[in-house]
Structure 1
Amino acid sequence: MTRWKEVSGANERTAEMEPIGVIDIGSNSVRLVVYEGAVRAPTPVFNEKVLCGLGRSVASTGSLSSEAVERAMAALARFNVIAHILSVKNLRVIATAAVRDAQNGREFIERGERVLGVSIETLSGEKEARLAAQGIMMGFIDADGIAGDMGGGSLELIDIVQDRLKEAATAPLGGLRLIDSTGNKIERAVDVIDSALANLPWLANGKGRTFYAVGGTWRSLAKMHMDQIHYPLRVMQGYRLSTAEALDLCEQFRKAKKPLDIPGIAGVARARREVLPFGAIVLDRLLRRMQPRQVVFSVFGIREGLIYSLLPPHEKIRDPLISFCEDYAALRSRSVEHAWELCRWTDELFANPEFEETADERRLRYAACLLSDVGWRAHPDYRGEQSVNTIAHAGLGGVDHQGRIFLALSVFHRHEPEDNGEQLSERLRSLVSKRVQRRARIVGAAIRAAHMLSIGMAGIIDQTPLSYENGKLVLTLPRHYAALDGERLRRRFGTLADLIGKKFDIRISG
């Protein structure tokens, strides 16, 4: 299915968006996220959480503790004021396992509704799983695998087959619940976990596929792994490990005499560290039962899934990467129309069978074109470097880490024709193949040459097409733009031709 296309009026759509807020009352934290609007690539404008520990004693006492409830109510009161300050008219509030399972959960909901002045929806385990899956669909293209969302009170699992939701289940395997039910004894947790997972024979459907890991505990494990290998990107979304790598990471908790001795754990928030051993053992037992090919970590979860559920069908089928890049270009570049012209202009460059693209490579090229001018306000000496940092760490969905690096390299080369180890991390380049590096240089050089014609303005390069004739790369200028020809244009166009192994010619038509 074609998921991306040029959409006119991106500036108008961005300006007309109304903020939407989601308060997620979880078993460990209560969080408010306010998004710019309900769109395919939602951008958070505010994000705050309070660790309340609502689910800390539910397994042993059956109730939410009074201390946790008071912390949660104070958080809700603050979030209510923040939502008013940010003019949030559409505020959705959801509660998960701790409130769902507690004897005094109904009392908590009624009190919370009085504080907020809006209704609170207590999610069933199945609906929580479905929202987690829709969060995966928000952040990934053609998601296919089993998603697991581990919170403080429960673990939700759901099978996603090419964006269709299949079997789903909830299990009492949240980090705080396991601490409570096992007396904080990790060795007791193994039998509890295995017993719960044994009731889910459909987990075998995950063999050889992807396991999507959702939730702060598992993201903390990913952060530890990044620290251990000195990974140059500090982005959780789309970070992937082979199943063997993930099992090795989990095994460190079993072998360590003290979890605080494990490399990388110092970088994890102190409040999160107590549940990490239980998160690791749940992931370990799950992966051994499921035997997936890889583990992919997602920052998109039930909150983003809730936004996804509100989208109209035509917005759901949009490519999340292209949607984000178009909106970002509308906000930060001189002309989003010119960015789309670059997509069409470079189509001709890659029309040559020698440079045949996959569908994913084409959408990445389009994304690079859309992002190519977002650094134009920076000082000329630092545009390349700043663009790398901005794009590599942007809140992109629908792209893996190799794709991020391609985008960052492409826009770097749009500003800097040569590699410069001082400005661009060698480690970043080492994470992608020579093919990806070469394509990034070609795309960057093409955009760099195009800007010598257009000066970043729309309506020019559509009149200056590229073509191949007799083995040459030809740029044709209409007579009324003939004076744009000159030394600097020929130097940039010559660099592009050299990169693709062609001679070049600039012609005047009409």
Structure 2
Amino acid sequence: METLSPLYAVVDLGSNSFHMLLTRQLADSVQVVDKVKRKVRLAAGLSEDNILSEQAMAKGLECLSFFAERLQDIPEKNIRIVATATLRLAKNRAEFIAKAEAALGHKVTLLSGIAEAEHIYLGVAHTSVSANKRLVLDIGGASTELIVGRGFTVKKAHSLNLGCVSYNQKYFSDGTLSSANFSRAISAAEHAIAPIKADFCDIGWQCVLGGSGTMQALAEMLIYQHKPSVLTLDFLYQVQMQLQNFDHINSIDLPGLSTERSPVIASGLAILIALFQQFSIKELTLSSGALREGLLYEMLPGNRTTNIRQRTISALSQRFHIDQQHAVSVKRQINIIYSQLKSTWNLPDGNALALLLASGDLHEIGLLLEYKYHQQHSAYILKHADLAGFNQSDRKFLVSLVLLYKGDINLAHIEQQSALDDETAKRLLIILRLAIKLCRRRKDDELPNYRLWLNKKVLNLSLPEVWLMQHTLIHDELKQENDHISRLGYSLHIDVDNNSST
């Protein structure tokens, strides 16, 4: 039985935090069973001579003793435990690793900087939807990894000895968030990045992704402001200016920024600004996975290189017993209507269409609970489910579509999403609603050929007269739809085609 499939565990002894990820395979997807995170800040225990202090080791080993409790029931072949930058640097790492292995009862693998970078890239490739050629950035506690690749293939990887914990000690040790401290930190990071810049730029990329704590914290600040979670250099400068208004690191209080991340946000931000400036990055989007996910997918049986979104949708469809044949019918009509209105409405391809089709797959996910409030149930499930391949903006847009695919339209749900501009979001909602209305009978062979065109703000839908006479309920509901989409600034006119019977 799928529910009795074995657990998989990945433990990451990072420079800032120790993480443990527990998962199992379920319905063609990866289900997260548990996550444990402890702020050990191992990098802060390194002396100038790269000797790890007894206090830092004790704190780390205490954390691992907690992790050991959870690992004891998991098959050994399903466990990966890795150490990263701080232990690469520590001269007394052998002592700590030996004690760590004794505490855990399992082998600890010390990853090289390149191996860490490659696993980070694969974690991104397995869990994120983006252009095929990508630059991946990861700012850790004591190192920063840069990887450029295509699909699941790493083209170039590098690990730099600069991280948010080590830079915090070096450039913000007095806790002062001054312009001078920021300038010194940014300049030092740019100096470290400059020698490898040309090799990466020669390969090139179409998009930039990152998922480390610094980037996640900054994205959460944008989400708090109801903005797309896309990082730009202007936003980074804005956060820098806000931080400089605080007298001390301990007094940082920015909306949307967690107190846990505050102590190292300035140093992480300085490194990220240097990366943006050196590589002329216009925008960075969050990845859904990184090192731990790269290690996990390496263990999982079978080929896991299929489209992550489709895998997520397929898993949800199975788990919630969605009528997949009906979903296919709805998506077919979405594509037909989309193609007929694309040029008139200047509709975008790519992610916008992919999200619209995903809503066709998932709009009935809440039916398993009950019919009466199934749209609210669908929205709740999509709001809280593990949607690998969908970022926060994508998720919010999906939620708004399933809430509004039929019935009254609350414009607030459109205005609260940030994946698309409001007008495009309204147009995609209209397409979804019409596609679902036309599929009301849930029989593909009963759908006629039809035309849909726009005259100013009037949508004209031409349907065969015979078909309309045979489907009076759908005809009536299409006429009622005019009242609903008027909330979106459009009207719907049903044009009876007397010359066609199919």
* Matched AA of 2:58: E
Q: For 1:20, what is the secondary structure of its paired residue?
A: strand
Q: What is residue 237 of structure 2 aligned with on the other side?
A: 247
Matched, 1:411 2:402: yes
- How far apart, CA to CA, are the structure 1 residues paired with 2:226 and 2:131? 27
Q: What is residue 100 of structure 2 aligned with on the other side?
A: 112
Q: What is residue 258 of structure 2 aligned with on the other side?
A: 268
What's the C-alpha RMSD, in Å, of the aligned pairs? 3.9
* Matched AA of 1:407: L
Match among 201, 207, 210 for residue 205 of structure 1: 201
* Matched AA of 1:97: A
Q: For 1:269, what is the secondary structure of its paired residue?
A: coil
Matched, 1:184 2:173: yes
Q: For 1:305, what is the secondary structure of its paired residue?
A: helix
The answer to whether the Cα contact below 8 Å between 1:442 and 1:500 also exists between their aligned partners in 2 is no
CA shift for structure 1 position 352: 4.0
Question: How many percent identity over aligned positions?
Answer: 21
- How far apart, CA to CA, are the structure 2 residues paired with 1:500 and 1:362? 22
- How far apart, CA to CA, are the structure 1 residues paired with 2:35 and 2:65? 15
The answer to whether the Cα contact below 8 Å between 2:24 and 2:30 also exists between their aligned partners in 1 is yes
Q: What is residue 66 of structure 2 aligned with on the other side?
A: 78
Q: For 1:365, what is the secondary structure of its paired residue?
A: helix
After superposition, residues 258-337 of structure 1 pair within 5 angstroms as: 258-259=248-249, 264=254, 267-270=257-260, 272-310=261-299, 314-316=303-305, 318-337=306-325
Q: For 1:212, what is the secondary structure of its paired residue?
A: strand
Q: What is residue 356 of structure 2 aligned with on the other side?
A: 365
Matched, 1:490 2:475: yes
* Matched AA of 1:113: E
CA shift for structure 1 position 302: 0.7
After superposition, residues 62-461 of structure 1 pair within 5 angstroms as: 62-84=50-72, 90-138=78-126, 139-161=128-150, 164-182=153-171, 184-185=173-174, 187=181, 189-202=185-198, 205=201, 210-227=207-224, 230-231=225-226, 239-254=229-244, 256-259=246-249, 264=254, 267-270=257-260, 272-310=261-299, 314-316=303-305, 318-344=306-332, 346-350=334-338, 352=340, 358=349, 360-378=351-369, 382-392=373-383, 394-399=385-390, 403-414=394-405, 416-421=406-411, 424=413, 426-428=415-417, 432-447=421-436, 450=439, 452-454=440-442, 461=443
Q: For 2:158, what is the secondary structure of its paired residue?
A: strand
Matched, 1:462 2:444: yes
- How far apart, CA to CA, are the structure 1 residues paired with 2:451 and 2:321? 33
Q: For 1:148, what is the secondary structure of its paired residue?
A: strand
Q: Which has the larger displacement, 91-100 or 496-505?
A: 496-505
* Matched AA of 1:149: D
- How far apart, CA to CA, are the structure 1 residues paired with 2:465 and 2:350? 26
The answer to whether the Cα contact below 8 Å between 2:148 and 2:200 also exists between their aligned partners in 1 is no
- How far apart, CA to CA, are the structure 1 residues paired with 2:79 and 2:444? 44
* Matched AA of 1:443: L
What CA deviation, in whole Å up to 9, does each residue of 1:3-48 have, x standing for no partner?
A: xxxxxxxxx9x66854322111111111111123399863322111
CA shift for structure 1 position 56: 1.2
What CA deviation, in whole Å up to 9, does each residue of 1:176-228 have, x standing for no partner?
A: 2223345715725345323322332337729996432331123212223433x
Stretches of structure 2 lacking an aligned partner (at least 5 in a row)? 453-460
* Matched AA of 1:21: A
The answer to whether the Cα contact below 8 Å between 1:142 and 1:163 also exists between their aligned partners in 2 is no
Q: For 2:304, what is the secondary structure of its paired residue?
A: helix
What TM-score do you get using the length of structure 1 for normalisation? Answer: 0.79
CA shift for structure 1 position 426: 3.2
- How far apart, CA to CA, are the structure 2 residues paired with 1:199 and 1:420? 53
- How far apart, CA to CA, are the structure 2 residues paired with 1:303 and 1:310? 11
Q: For 2:450, what is the secondary structure of its paired residue?
A: strand
CA shift for structure 1 position 281: 1.2
- How far apart, CA to CA, are the structure 2 residues paired with 1:339 and 1:85? 40
Q: Which has the larger displacement, 424-433 or 283-292?
A: 424-433
- How far apart, CA to CA, are the structure 2 residues paired with 1:284 and 1:502? 53
- How far apart, CA to CA, are the structure 2 residues paired with 1:129 and 1:430? 29
* Matched AA of 2:95: E
Pair 1:380–1:197, CA change in 2 (3 A)? same
